[in-house]
């Protein structure tokens, strides 16, 4: 090759880009700088190149955990969390989390490599053949496939906008293997990228809807404000706090809205939940749905007294989903709450009588609970163990609390007070098990704060292998496993006589702490609340990956925790 020919070839190279680079550039251009995923065909090199290009790439041991990490990253940051998976089986593993993100209204993009369209569509048996786009569609808010390198910019832009605008949710982006290597002119490639402007535009409520809502609120004698995780997500913390305080009304936080105002706030009705649900006459929902978690807004939990519901939500279709909403306020929470606040004038919604009733009930309940939380029993019961964790969170209010399990979830939710917004992340709308380690990893990565995971032994099992990931990235995560030898309890017996363990029990006396030691993390076996307290404090001080096996009484715990009513029991069972 002559010198002239050589330089022409180099020039041609310099002017080329490919699918790999365009996807990376499109993500970076839009501020998506973290990827949660599992490498493999066809996205292995993509992960390497993304890392080399400055994107933080977190490699997990199972796609479901990477997907849960991406989903909660979306909740914590208001930017879509990105999960990257291989085709067919990896894609399917990630799909649970994508559906979870959609159900929970968290913005997330599942990017999955896929096999060749030509072969998949003729069902000719490609490596990991699957029509992924069709399978993803019913489980997410939107699904897109990009076939040409020149469309990557638009594809990524559409995915971002779909994930975060309106009601946030999961988006699927299908990238066939061939796309990654597709080459195009670099200048044209750069021009094809799209920076999404105002991805989640403010949605201003109509003045009529604000006036209607204020009129209903003014008519209240016993108002109640319910804050849901949509309110946490909105990051309108100051406006929400000012509005709630100005209204004077008791407020009830849903579990992931705890800390939006501190649980110790004088208006917090968390410990008087049944009273306020039963007796309130006007209920204002802010980013909370009237789904099963709120008994659908009717029935025994809501009492006999007639109620009027005001609802603030970005999704118009949410209105009247379960009961009549007399004052729907459709818009983003920041804009809606600010409009209510501005329209309120000087009156407060709540009467002194109502406040007194709620406060008395709440203080009684808290006083009843207090002595139980101070026991130092060994083996521990839930209250003894949670009593010390409650104090630790009070002393470290900026730590993130991850919580899953049955009894471990229900009791921790009630006992551990939260003090700051978006510090409690848990099983969410489905009440699923398995979010634990994925959430912990994303929380540490996205916030840089220490993370405390309070896990049932069963719940932990769904994502337990990710302790290696936690150790590998040396994350400040302290996992406490409430080990009661089983699901709900560790005491069930098999009545058949065949020698198998009962379906709900695990290995007795298991030492989960040794799992952490296997990967160079800190493992501690704690048999009393005192030991637990020392171990958690040491872990939170050091920031070292730590797993504490908290030995609970196997008989502690009840069937399905607080939702035993949802778990049908046979009345014909042989005794």
Q: Which residues lie near ligand ADP (CB under 6 A)? A: 104-105, 167-168, 228-230, 233-234, 254, 256-257, 287-289, 291, 293, 313-315, 318, 332-333, 429
Pairing of strands 183-185, 16-18: antiparallel
The residue among 289 and 308 lying less far from ligand ADP, judged by its C-beta, is: 289
CB atoms within 10 A of CB 397: 13
Residue 160 or 552 having the CB closest to Mg ion: 552
484 binds, among ligand ADP, Mg ion, none (CB under 5 to 8 A by kind): Mg ion
The nearer residue to ligand ADP, 62 or 413, going by C-beta atoms, is 413
Instruction: Round to whole Å and give the CA distance between 300 and 465.
Output: 42
Residue 557 C-beta: closest distance to ligand ADP, Å: 24
Q: What is the strand order of the sheet 327-330 is part of? A: 251-253, 223-227, 282-286, 308-313, 327-330
In the block, tokens 């993130």 appear at 400
Beta bridge partners of 401: 424, 452
For residue 145, what are the β-bridge partners?
174
Q: Answer yes or no whether residue 456 interacts with Mg ion by CB under 5 A.
A: yes
d(CA 414, CA 92): 35
Which one of the spans 95-103, 104-112, 368-376, 452-460 is the region binding Mg ion (CB under 5 A)?
452-460
Partner whose binding site includes residue 456, from Mg ion, ligand ADP, none (CB under 5 to 8 Å by kind) = Mg ion
Tokens of 454: 């309070």
| Nearer Cβ to ligand ADP (248/431) | 431
Maximal C-alpha separation, the chain? 94
List the single partner that 318 binds among Mg ion, ligand ADP, none, CB under 5 to 8 Å by kind.
Answer: ligand ADP
Minimum CB separation of residue 349 from ligand ADP in Å reads 21
Nearer Cβ to Mg ion, position 287 or 561?
561
CB of 470 to ligand ADP, least distance (A): 27
The site string for Mg ion over 187-206 (x = CB under 5 A, - otherwise) reads --------------------
Cβ of residue 306: shortest distance to ligand ADP, in angstroms?
Answer: 22
User: Among ligand ADP, Mg ion, none, what binds residue 105 when CB lies within 5 to 8 Å by partner kind?
Assistant: ligand ADP
Closest approach of ligand ADP to the CB of residue 237, in Å: 12
> In whole angstroms, what is the distance from residue 545 CA to residue 475 CA?
6
Verify binding: residue 379, Mg ion, rule CB under 5 A. no
Considering the complex, state which of residue 136 and residue 288 has its C-beta at the smaller distance from ligand ADP.
288
**Do residues 286 and 223 touch, judged by C-beta distance below 8 A?**
no
Is residue 37 near Mg ion by the rule CB under 5 A? no
CA 114 to chain centroid: 27
Closer to ligand ADP by Cβ: residue 203 or 357:
203
**Contacted by 258, from Mg ion, ligand ADP, none: CB < 5 to 8 Å by type:** none
Q: Quick one: CA torsion of 10, 16, 18, 22, rounded to 10 degrees?
A: 130
Task: Determine, following the binding rule CB under 5 A, whether residue 484 of this chain makes contact with Mg ion.
Answer: yes
CA 155 to chain CA centroid, Å, is: 25
Between 113 and 297, name the residue whose CB sits nearer to ligand ADP. 297
Binding part of the chain for Mg ion, among 27-35, 46-54, 450-458, 567-575 by CB under 5 A, reads 450-458
Which tokens belong to 138? 């019913």
Q: By rule CB under 5 A, what count of residues binds Mg ion?
A: 4
Q: Which of 341, 470, 446 is nearest to 455 (CA)?
A: 470
Residue 261 or 453: the one with the smaller Cβ distance to Mg ion is 453
Q: Pick the piece of the chain touching Mg ion (CB under 5 A) from 15-23, 197-205, 445-453, 483-491.
A: 483-491
Under DSSP, is residue 450 helix (H, G, I), strand (E, B) or coil?
A: coil
In whole angstroms, give the CA distance from residue 275 to residue 358: 7
Nearest approach, Cβ of 191 to ligand ADP (angstroms)? 33
**3-state secondary structure (DSSP) of residue 196:** coil
Binding partner of residue 175 among Mg ion, ligand ADP, none, CB cut-off 5 to 8 Å per kind: none
Can you tell me the distance from the alpha carbon of 169 to that of 376, in angstroms, rounded to the nearest whole number?
A: 44
Spatial distance between the Cα atoms of 435 and 443, rounded to a whole number of angstroms: 12
**Other C-beta atoms lying within 10 Å of the C-beta of residue 405:** 28
> Distance between terminal CA atoms of the chain?
89
Q: Which among Mg ion, ligand ADP, none contacts residue 26 (Cβ within 5 to 8 A by kind)? A: none
Q: What is the residue-wise DSSP string for 472-535?
A: HTT--EEEEEEE-SBSS-S----SS-SSPPPTTB--TT--THHHHHHTT-EEEEE-SHHHHHHH
Q: In the complex, what is the shortest distance from the CB of residue 49 to ligand ADP, in angstroms, rounded to a whole number?
A: 34
Nearest alpha-carbon partner for 247 in 229, 266, 233: 266
Residue 230 binding target from Mg ion, ligand ADP, none, CB below 5 to 8 Å by type: ligand ADP
- Phi, psi (degrees; rounded to nearest 5) at 167: -75, 120
403 binds Mg ion (CB under 5 A): no
Of 144-152, 346-354, 458-466, 491-499, the window that binds Mg ion (rule: CB under 5 A) is 458-466
Chain-centroid distance, C-alpha 476 = 19
**Is 128 among the residues that bind Mg ion (CB under 5 A)?**
no
Least distance (Å) between residue 382 CB and Mg ion = 10
Q: Residue with the closest Cβ to ligand ADP?
A: 230
Interacting residues with Mg ion (CB under 5 A) = 456-458, 484
């Amino acid at each position: 090759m002559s010198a002239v020919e050589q330089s022409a070839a180099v020039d041609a190279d310099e002017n080329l880009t490919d699918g790999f680079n365009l996807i990376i550039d499109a993500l970076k251009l839009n501020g998506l700088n973290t990827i949660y995923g599992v490498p493999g065909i066809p996205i292995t090199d993509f992960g390497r190149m993304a890392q080399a290009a400055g994107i933080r790439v977190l490699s997990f041991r199972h796609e479901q955990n990477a997907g849960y990490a991406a989903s909660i990253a979306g909740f914590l940051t208001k930017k879509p969390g990105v999960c990257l998976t291989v085709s067919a089986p990896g894609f399917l593993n990630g799909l649970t989390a994508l559906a979870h993100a959609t159900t929970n209204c968290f913005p997330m993009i599942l990017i999955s490599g896929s096999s060749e369209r030509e072969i998949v569509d003729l069902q000719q048996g490609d490596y990991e053949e699957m029509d992924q786009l069709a399978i993803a569609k019913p489980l997410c808010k939107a699904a897109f496939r990009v076939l040409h390198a020149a469309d990557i910019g638009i594809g990524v832009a559409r995915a971002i906008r779909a994930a975060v605008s309106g009601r946030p949710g999961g988006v699927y982006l299908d990238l066939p293997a061939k796309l990654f290597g597709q080459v195009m002119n670099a200048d044209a490639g750069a021009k094809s990228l799209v920076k999404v402007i105002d991805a989640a535009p403010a949605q201003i409520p109509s003045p009529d809807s604000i006036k209607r809502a204020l009129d209903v609120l003014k008519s209240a004698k016993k108002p109640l404000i319910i804050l849901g995780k949509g309110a946490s997500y909105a990051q309108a913390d100051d406006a929400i706090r000012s509005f709630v305080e100005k209204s004077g009304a008791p407020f009830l936080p849903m579990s992931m809205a705890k800390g939006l105002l501190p649980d110790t706030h004088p208006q917090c009705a968390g410990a008087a939940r049944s009273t306020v649900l039963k007796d309130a006459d006007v209920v204002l929902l802010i980013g909370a749905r009237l789904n099963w978690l709120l008994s659908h807004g009717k029935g025994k939990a809501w009492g006999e007294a007639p109620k009027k519901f005001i609802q603030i939500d970005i999704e118009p279709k949410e209105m009247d989903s379960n009961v009549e909403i007399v004052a729907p306020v459709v818009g983003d929470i920041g804009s809606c709450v600010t409009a209510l606040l501005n329209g309120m004038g000087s009156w407060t919604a709540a009467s002194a009588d109502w406040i007194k009733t709620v406060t008395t009930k709440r203080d009684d309940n808290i006083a009843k609970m207090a002595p139980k939380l101070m026991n130092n029993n060994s083996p521990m019961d839930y209250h003894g163990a949670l009593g010390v964790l409650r104090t630790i969170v009070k002393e470290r209010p900026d730590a993130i609390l991850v919580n899953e399990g049955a009894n471990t979830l229900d009791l921790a939710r009630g006992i551990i007070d939260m003090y700051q917004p978006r510090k409690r992340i848990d099983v969410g709308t489905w009440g699923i098990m398995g979010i634990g380690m994925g959430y912990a990893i994303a929380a540490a990565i996205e916030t840089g704060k220490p993370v405390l995971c309070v896990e049932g032994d069963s719940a932990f099992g769904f994502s337990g292998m990710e302790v290696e990931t936690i150790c590998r990235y040396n994350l400040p995560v302290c996992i406490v496993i409430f080990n009661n030898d089983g699901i709900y309890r560790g005491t069930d017996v098999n009545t058949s006589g065949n020698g198998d363990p009962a379906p709900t029990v695990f290995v007795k006396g298991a030492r989960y702490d040794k799992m952490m030691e296997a990967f160079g993390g800190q493992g501690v076996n704690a048999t009393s609340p005192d030991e637990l307290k020392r171990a958690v404090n040491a872990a939170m001080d050091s920031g070292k990956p730590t797993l504490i096996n908290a030995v609970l009484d196997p008989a502690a715990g009840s069937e399905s925790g607080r939702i035993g009513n949802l778990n049908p029991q046979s009345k014909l069972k042989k005794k």
